[in-house]
A and B are shown apart, each in its own frame.
Chain A
Amino acid sequence: MSTLESIVIIGAGHTGGRAAEALRGAGFAGRVVLVGEESHLPYERPPLSKELLAGTMELEKVTLNPESYYDENNIQLLLGISAQEIELGLGRVRLSDDTDVAFDKLMIATGGRVRRLACPGADLHGVYYIRDINDTLLLRPELRDGVRVAVIGGGFIGLEVAATARRRGCHVTVIELADQVLARVADPAVGALVADIHHAEGVHIVTGASVERIEGDAEVAEVICTDGETLEVDVVVVGIGILPNQEIAAEAGIACGPKGTQGGIKVDEFGHTSAANVYAAGDVAFHYNPILKRHLRLESWGNAQNSAIAVARNMVLDPVAYAEVPWFWSDQFDLNLQVAGAPETWDRLVVRGDPAAKKGIVFYMTGDRVVGATAFNQGREMRFLKKLVETGAPVDDSALADEGKRLRDIAG
């Protein structure tokens, strides 16, 4: 190891927290400073739309490590403070409390912020978003028995909120702009399977429509959809995606991907940005994946954890490429959905088991290769699904569809 003195991490979310831990795990003995805008210790976000929103999980359970961990490992936490500017030439970061902190190496783990609804009435009281703990704690008491909830956006977050609200006795309508839920991330047939699970639980789903305006005196009262439908509501929850917090890098002249949801800070397979000694990981990183042979940005717990660990190690040890098959999960009602891969195109699907009955797998195929898979309550098979995507080994549709043939054997 070099004589490195100081590593600063901007963003004390899941990625920042795991990165600090991994630096110590790799034996780095210099200074580690973790700067976070939120006042909370680094935590995991998945429960925010699930158990924490449902009220079935304790708040402490979402934190990665207790406060004592940071003391014991000499990790300096600057919480409630945001980084304002990266001064590359001077090797320091200017902070919101008018101080600055010097770095020899820097990790940017600033994640993303929610896209806001722009229609008239979007700022009325009763319109909620979910990205951080405070959002969840604000929304939770509103989700009471009989409350009418409109969820804008039928992506994973929207559907999870819909499921949690439904379980709390709310009347829930999901409004999705595309023709099917999960349109951005799944085949319409997979979206339809998930939509049917929601229908069976009593969730109302409106597709092919967006919100034209929200009406009400101070409080939300009605959502008027572009297809003319009017919903009487008590609560609106918006889940229409996130924008990567890349500005701080872009302003320092660090290369970023295209603007908007697809953007992010551009890094190579080692997590290195275009600037010397500056790295990025997690939701904000538009990273090169050697397995998929392209750059992509992922918004997933697995990527937050594993890219943080890989990139942190690369900052202090001999670099090893971060090369994993993308992995995501979602819990809705009694369905645990897990996704391997991030295919952009495919030519057909192969079904194994009975996903409609919440036990099965849908494979995304290109030629004789599996390019992605969605598992319905089949977590145990994930390692084989990832392996199939990773190796790209030729497989027979009939073997994949045959539950008598173990995936472990097919994946080899």
Chain B
Amino acid sequence: MAAHLVAKTSEIAEDEAKKVIIGDQHVAVFNLGGEFYATDDICTHAYASLSEGYIEDGCVECPLHAGRFDIKTGKAQGVPVTEDIKTFPVRVDGDNVYVEI
């Protein structure tokens, strides 16, 4: 596992996300109330970018078909999504946000 610098904390506003690509891995980096989290960016239901989704109550709603995932745990919240989304550890050092992959 290696830590990758993916953003400055100031870059991602609260309840917003940034998409980054590390190797072949598409990652969505979220800011939830000042805490940062990272998940696979691609929905488990269809090919859609979760970083373009709507964030509310700690969940991200897929912009394509409204499947919802818990951002902290990756848990699928019910139809149409059944498969959880992968999550990645995040470390904040000063104003640097690192994702470990």
Contacts and interface: CB of A to CB of B under 8 A. Distances in A.
Which secondary structure dominates chain A's binding surface?
Answer: helix
A214 to B, nearest CB: 34
A141 B91 CA distance: 48
A302 B82 CA distance: 16
Interface in B29-86: 46-48, 52-54, 61-66, 79-80, 82
B78 to A, nearest CB: 9
Contacts of B47: 51, 56
Interface in A297-341: 301-302, 305, 309, 329, 336
Contact of B64 (A21, A305, A309, A379): A379
Interface string A30-58: 00000000000000100100010000100
Given A51-B47, A380-B52, A383-B54, A329 B79 contact: no
A380 B79 contact: no
Contacts of B52: 379-380
Contacts of B66: 302, 382-383
Interface residues of A, number: 17
Interface residues of B, number: 15
Q: Is the interface of B mostly helix, strand, loop or mixed?
A: loop
B79 A336 contact: no
A301 B64 CA distance: 12
Given A51-B47, A336-B64, A380-B63, A18 B79 contact: yes
A21 B82 CA distance: 12
Contact of A329 (B53, B64, B80): B64
Contact of B65 (A56, A329, A383): A329
A75 to B, nearest CB: 15
Interface in A44-97: 44, 47, 51, 56, 65
Contacts of A65: 82
A21 B79 contact: yes
B79 A301 contact: no
Contacts of B61: 383
Q: Of residues A21, A56, A301, A382, which shows the largest number of chain B Cβ atoms within 10 Å of its Cβ? A: A382
Contact of B79 (A47, A51, A56, A305): A305
Interface in A320-366: 329, 336
A246 B54 CA distance: 38
A256 B37 CA distance: 51
A330 B82 CA distance: 22
Contact of A380 (B53, B80, B82): B53
A42 B55 CA distance: 30
Contacts of B63: 336, 379-380, 382
Nearest to B55: A380
A90 B66 CA distance: 41
Nearest to B63: A379
A336 B80 CA distance: 18
A399 B16 CA distance: 23
B65 A301 contact: yes
B54 A380 contact: yes
What 3 A-B pairs are tightest by C-beta distance, nearest first? Answer: A379-B63, A380-B63, A380-B54
Interface of B: 46-48, 52-54, 61-66, 79-80, 82
15 contacts: A47-B46, A56-B47, A65-B82, A301-B65, A302-B65, A305-B79, A305-B80, A329-B65, A336-B63, A379-B53, A380-B52, A380-B53, A380-B54, A383-B54, A383-B66
